[in-house]
């Protein structure tokens, strides 16, 4: 499955995030995280759902690992300033894409 995220194309099978001709190879966990965020675009995705779907456990170390993956995804998506991964403090994350801003 592929997702269009602003100017990016995300291939969930190949774990590749592509912007024009530049390809970023994501790790399996980064790819699963981004796929879940895309599937629930503009909705709150709780940390618990992410942790149980990706790590099968929500211990402290996995929570810190999730934070690092979110940080990496923000960096990868930073070339398109319409894309935001918002942190809803204490609850989770939300992927938002401003379609109006060109």
In this prediction, residues 90-94 reach a mean pLDDT of 94
Looking at residue 42, the DSSP 8-state letter turns out to be T
Question: What is residue 100's predicted lDDT score, i.e. its pLDDT?
Answer: 58
The pLDDT tens digits of the residues spanning 63-89 come to 999 999 999 999 999 999 999 999 999
The CA distance from 83 to 6, in Å, is 7
Question: What is residue 59's predicted lDDT score, i.e. its pLDDT?
Answer: 87
Q: What angle do CA 63, 15, 72 make, to 5 degrees?
A: 40
Q: Is 101 a residue whose pLDDT tops 60?
A: no
Question: What is residue 4's predicted lDDT score, i.e. its pLDDT?
Answer: 95
Question: What is residue 60's predicted lDDT score, i.e. its pLDDT?
Answer: 85
Q: Among 48, 61, 55, which residue's Cα sits nearest to residue 88?
A: 48
């Amino acid at each position: 499955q592929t997702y269009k995220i602003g100017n990016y194309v995300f291939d969930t099978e190949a774990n590749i995030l592509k912007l024009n001709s530049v390809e970023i190879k994501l790790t399996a966990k980064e790819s699963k995280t981004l796929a879940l965020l895309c599937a629930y675009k503009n909705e709150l995705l709780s940390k618990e759902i992410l942790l149980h779907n990706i790590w099968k456990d929500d211990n402290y170390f996995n929570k810190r690992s999730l934070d690092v993956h979110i940080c990496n995804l923000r960096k990868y998506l930073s070339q398109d300033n319409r894309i935001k991964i918002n942190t809803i403090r204490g609850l989770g994350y939300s992927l938002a894409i401003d379609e109006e801003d060109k």
